[in-house]
Structure 1
Amino acid sequence: MNKRALKSLLKDRRALIAPETHGFTRPTGPGRRAPGLSQHQVDQLVNRAFGTYHRLESGTYPNAPVDLLRDIARLFVLNEQEWISLCRYARGEDPPGPLYDTSGNAVPAAWEDAVAAVTHPAYVTDASWNLLACNEPFHRIFATGQAPENTMRWMLIDGREQLTDWANAWAPLVMPQLQAALAQRPDDKVLRQIEKELLDDPVSRPLYEVGGASIHPDGDERPIRHAADGPGWVTMCVAQPLAAPGSRFMILIFRPGPRRSSTRPPMLQAR
């Protein structure tokens, strides 16, 4: 627990919430004049016992429950990065999921310029793997000259013929990503529909039901048939726009011909 940082974050954000917006009135006589909600008012608004919030803000509530932190974060209208900080300060760990269900649906518009500036195929998707922005080299991968609207659906359903050795090199690695995403976002209609189509398909259903650990593709190399440049391999470089948990920024480094090596290159480390 980082008591000093926790108190600073909570106290500053509590001061920004006008009591009148939640049905409280400010005292007019002698007494408290501090800005924002009082600690007791926070207890009332998150339906907790008197003194609960005081313990949290003062740093005397070790391992505060995530549901309490979430209720307070939403009351204080924290953003996703502040939500992560709150959980780290109060519990010493990252939150189990995003603060808001809509987080990951949109990324800052600057990412469109960033993607366009990349020379390799590159794109940005939201938390449902819907394509938000991509560059011309990414469009060139596809026979139609047009990138798919949803990259998860393309990897698991529509793009099987283009993804070399799909049943071994793609499906066992991508399907656990879908399962992990649904565990965190069970009400995601886009991903649920993809899952339904997989389970309705006699080819993909057995592979999907096997399950497996979700392996992040960052740095992974997989075979593909490039519509313009022929068969080859793509190395995946993955990052996440911090304002949108669940979104992803992908750079695909395509190399035609056979695989260079079956082992990953060494990790980059500062000297």
Structure 2
Amino acid sequence: MQPDNKAFQQLCRARRRSLSPTDVGLQERPRRTGPRVEGLLQTDVDVLMATGIGTYQKVETLKLTPSPRLFRKIALALRFKESEFVQCHLDLFGTAPGLSLYPDASLSVPPAYKEKVEGQRHICCVQNRRWQPVYWNAAFVELFPSGVVPDDLARWCLTSDEARDPDYGVMINWDALWGPLLVPHFVASAKAFPDDEVLQETNRLVQQDERVRSLHERGENAYIHPDGGRRPLRHGTLGPGSAELLADAPQTALGARVITIIFHPDKGQPGPDP
């Protein structure tokens, strides 16, 4: 697949011309006679990237296709938006980037997702890449017998009694039907973001749990997302039934997931309100 350099070139030029030296921490250029130079010089970008003079000029004039590492440096120097970074990575390399341009900022999910989730009739929440819930609806709260949404869904799903208890846990038959799928799913999340210290610490903590460690050591790792799964579930207010799981992902928050659960009560159990 040939890289699509044209769109990247146009964006680089537009971003470079929109930034002044003082915007990026460089000294203002002394005034001189002649036409005024708008924005950053190509050599300014080299300075920001700490690369050899002339490197950026070769990229912007399409004489050099950047490596992923150089591309990230350019995107940071020119202050790409996260969406621009993702789109250009797709254009240049044919894949989405493995790490956000601004890792901490990518924990934030666009506020419009709050309205999206709250307008959903079914159980629904948005979690960031650390498996921390960001937005959820009332139906999601009712899923938990305690009526409390946990701060860390990974630790709740993988180690809590409320999730795993054989008699009253939300995830019925956790060791056979939930755990073997949840453990590789979470491990894949941790591997995808090796520089996220919070996520790595969560991974370390859950791996100390004997039941989690046993499942991890079995080496079953084909399951890395919940989309389309159906499993038995004990709803916090509606009782036992089955959960149909759907997942999609905000494009500007890498690793985030929108999880929707369509709950089907067992016969004889009350169903959700229409």
Structure 2: segments with no counterpart, 5+ residues: 268-274
| Residue of 187, 195, 199 corresponding to 1:179 | 187
Partner residue, 2:45: 42
Deviates more, 1:238-247 or 1:18-27: 18-27
Query: Aligned-pair distance for 1:58?
Result: 2.0
Structure 1 counterpart SS, 2:264: strand
Partner residue, 1:166: 174
RMSD of aligned C-alpha atoms?
2.1
Structure 2 counterpart SS, 1:114: helix
Q: Share of identical aligned residues, percent? A: 32
1:56-77 residue CA offsets vs partner (Å, 9 max, x unmatched): 1122223x21111111111111
1:110-169 residue CA offsets vs partner (Å, 9 max, x unmatched): 222221111111111122111122111111122112222222222111111221221232
Structure 1: segments with no counterpart, 5+ residues: 259-271
Contact 1:219 1:235 in 2 (8 A): yes
Matches for 1:174-213 after TM superposition, within 5 Å: 174-211=182-219, 212-213=221-222
Contact 1:20 1:26 in 2 (8 A): no
Structure 2 counterpart SS, 1:252: strand
Contact 1:103 1:245 in 2 (8 A): no
Contact 1:233 1:254 in 2 (8 A): yes
1:226 is aligned to 2:243: no
Structure 2 counterpart SS, 1:253: strand
Q: Distance in 2 between matches of 1:46 and 1:140?
A: 50
1:13-63 residue CA offsets vs partner (Å, 9 max, x unmatched): 11122123433443533566331111122112212223221221122223x
Write the letter of the residue equivalent to 1:145. Answer: G
Q: Distance in 2 between matches of 1:30 and 1:89?
A: 40
Q: Distance in 1 between matches of 2:200 and 2:110?
A: 26
Matches for 1:129-144 after TM superposition, within 5 Å: 129-144=131-146
Partner residue, 1:236: 245
Deviates more, 1:155-164 or 1:206-215: 206-215
| Residue of 117, 120, 125 corresponding to 1:118 | 120
Structure 2 counterpart SS, 1:55: helix
Q: Distance in 2 between matches of 1:2 and 1:109?
A: 31
Tell me how many residue pairs correspond in the alignment.
257
Write the letter of the residue equivalent to 2:110. Answer: P
Contact 1:130 1:150 in 2 (8 A): yes
Partner residue, 2:270: none
Q: Distance in 2 between matches of 1:54 and 1:89?
A: 19
Structure 2 counterpart SS, 1:127: coil
Contact 2:82 2:100 in 1 (8 A): yes
Contact 2:158 2:183 in 1 (8 A): yes
